[in-house]
Amino acid sequence: MTDILYAAAMIGGVGLFVGIFLGFAGKVFAVKVNQKEKDILDVLPGANCGGCGYSGCAALAAALARGEASATACVVGQEPVANQIRWIIGGKSERIVRNVAFVRCSGDCDSTFDRYEYTGPKTCAALVQAPEGGPKSCYYGCIGCGDCVAGCEYGAIYIEKGVAVVDEDKCLDCRKCIKTCPKGLIIEVPYYRASHVGCVNPLKGKAVMDNCKIGCISCGKCAKNCHMNAIDMSAGYPVINYEICDNCGTCRDNCPRHCIV
């Protein structure tokens, strides 16, 4: 009986010592929690999409708490999240321009044709390595295999008649589709704008018309009719300066090829 009591006392003593030691060590070696960082992480959407340029929401929260990132860095949360972050780190709320993805190609299967029959992996990354950048008649057009669709976590992009199309109401501007497109056809555009150029073919006239029924022929009519001088043709196709554009839609309405959408 004495041996049992002695063993129980020994075990209890060791347990008490270990408990006290761990409690002490926990306080001495405790990692200080940055409350600001924690509060920021709580308001971030948790998408971990990388659109902000950081590895995930936790990394962005840490950078924001250190003052190394902009409150507008979260492209998914946009204005509501940015204003909450400003409130946490200190700063005034302000209006943020909402951007969405846009595919700069309108040349669907009704407007273009295949120059040859392709056999191989049906991905944009594979087809762009094929002869002439793939079988599509327009070298500069959307390949249409849906690499961007596979990369979008929000179901905001889909393939319609062989061309990728963005659902602007679903798009959260995470930029994954932009990074995925091997031809660089997807860009960010302001959501509240009337006109976007749906063609980036730099060729002119017959060279375009032979390959696409609605491709831009670089006639320059859109630029000439723009009373704000918001359209530049130096790239060989129209580029709209949205900071100058007054959203009148004249370029879209007067485009003879209907490639401004």
> Which of 175, 192, 209 is the last residue before a domain boundary?
192
Task: Provide the 8-state DSSP code for 32.
Answer: P
Asked whether residue 8 is domain-assigned, the answer is no
Average of pLDDT values for 213-234?
Answer: 94
The CA distance from 35 to 41, in Å, is: 10
Question: Does 236 lie in the same domain as 214?
Answer: yes
Question: Does 111 lie in the same domain as 81?
Answer: no
- Residue indicated by tokens 């018309």: 209
**What pLDDT is attached to residue 223?**
94
The rounded Cα 230 to chain-centroid distance in angstroms is 25
Question: Does 211 lie in the same domain as 134?
Answer: no
In sequence order, the β-bridge partners of residue 99 are 190
**What pLDDT is attached to residue 52?**
83
- Residue indicated by tokens 């196709």: 237
Asked whether residue 77 is domain-assigned, the answer is yes
Asked whether residue 3 is domain-assigned, the answer is no
Q: What is the pTM of this model?
A: 0.71
Instruction: Using the CB atoms, write b or e for 51-74: b if 16+ within 10 Å.
Output: bbebeebebbbbbbbeeebebbbb
Q: Which two tokens stand for residue 99?
A: 């951007």
> Which of 25, 59, 89 is the last residue before a domain boundary?
89
The rounded Cα 42 to chain-centroid distance in angstroms is 22
Question: Does 138 lie in the same domain as 84?
Answer: no
Q: Which two tokens stand for residue 220?
A: 């320059």
| Residues across the chain | 261
Question: Does 199 lie in the same domain as 241?
Answer: yes
For the stretch 77-133, pLDDT in tens is: 877 888 888 888 876 656 667 889 999 999 999 999 999 999 999 999 999 999 988
Asked whether residue 12 is domain-assigned, the answer is no
CATH number at residue 48: 1.10.15.40
Question: Does 183 lie in the same domain as 110?
Answer: yes
Asked whether residue 6 is domain-assigned, the answer is no
Question: Looking at 24-38, 111-125, 178-192, 233-247, which range is the least confident one?
Answer: 24-38
Question: Looking at 1-5, 96-100, 145-149, 174-178, which range is the least confident one?
Answer: 1-5
Question: Looking at 23-27, 99-103, 115-119, 240-244, which range is the least confident one?
Answer: 23-27
Asked whether residue 13 is domain-assigned, the answer is no
Of the candidates 164, 161, 153, which has an alpha carbon nearest to the alpha carbon of residue 186? 164
Question: Does 221 lie in the same domain as 185?
Answer: no
Question: Does 221 lie in the same domain as 169?
Answer: no
Host domain of residue 227: 194-261
**What pLDDT is attached to residue 94?**
61
For the stretch 28-49, pLDDT in tens is: 555 566 788 888 888 888 888 8
Radius of gyration for the chain, computed over Cα atoms and rounded to the nearest angstrom: 28
For the stretch 160-174, pLDDT in tens is: 999 999 999 899 888
The rounded Cα 132 to chain-centroid distance in angstroms is 28
Question: Does 205 lie in the same domain as 187?
Answer: no
- Please state the domain count of the chain: 3
Residues 6+ apart with CB under 8 A from 108: 160, 161, 162, 163
CATH number at residue 144: 3.30.70.20
| Confidence label for 65 from pLDDT (cuts 50, 70 and 90) | confident
The CA distance from 237 to 193, in Å, is: 19
Asked whether residue 62 is domain-assigned, the answer is yes
Question: Does 241 lie in the same domain as 205?
Answer: yes
The CA distance from 177 to 184, in Å, is: 10
The CA distance from 104 to 102, in Å, is: 6
Asked whether residue 117 is domain-assigned, the answer is yes
> Which of 62, 89, 116 is the last residue before a domain boundary?
89
Question: Does 173 lie in the same domain as 105?
Answer: yes
Question: Does 103 lie in the same domain as 183?
Answer: yes
